[in-house]
Amino acid sequence: MENLVDSPKGKLIDDKFYFPARVYYEDTDAGGVVYYANYLKFAERARTEFIRMLGINQHEGLATEDMFGFMVRSLNIEYKAPAILDDLLAISCEVLNVSGARMEVKQEIFCKDKLLVTLTVQLAYVSLNRKRPVRIPDELVKKIENL
C-alpha cells in the first residue's frame, strides 16, 4: 500500500527554517495551556525536520557500524507567553555556530506573530557506540554553511 499522507515539511525563509505544529489536547495541562516540557518536543521535531531538509538521513547515521547522531548537550529556554489548545505554531531553527563536534541552534516558537518561547540549544555530534563527541562531517557543515 502506498503512503496515504505526506510527512509534514517546513520551509526555509532567509536563514531560518520554519516547521508547523498544531497544539493537541495531549500537549496541554488541565487548563488547556501547553505543558512546559512539551515545548521541547515541538523544538525537537523542528530540528529533526531541519536536518532532514538539509538532505541528511539520520536513520542512515544510526545504521552505520559506529552509529552517529546529534545529542542535546545543553539548553536554555525562556517562556514568554503560553500556547493553548488548537493553536497553530511555527517553530524556527537557525544555526548560530558550527565548530568541531558542536552546533548551536536558536529556536523560536510563534503563534501567528506572537513569540511564545525562545530556546538556545547546544548540540554535540556523537559516536553513539563510543559515547564520545566526534567532528561533524564536512558534508554536513557545508550544507549548513550554504543556507
Q: What is the set of active-site residues? A: 29
CA–CA separation, 86 and 135 (whole Å): 41
- Exposure of 51 by Cβ count < 10 A (0-12 exposed, 13-18 middle, 19+ buried)? buried
The span from the CA of 43 to the CA of 133, in Å, is: 22
The residues, any chain, with a CB within 8 Å of residue 96's CB and separated by 6 or more, are 104, 105, 106, 120
R_g (Cα) of the chain, nearest Å: 16
The H or E element that residue 51 is part of is: helix 38-53
CA distance 52 to 50: 5
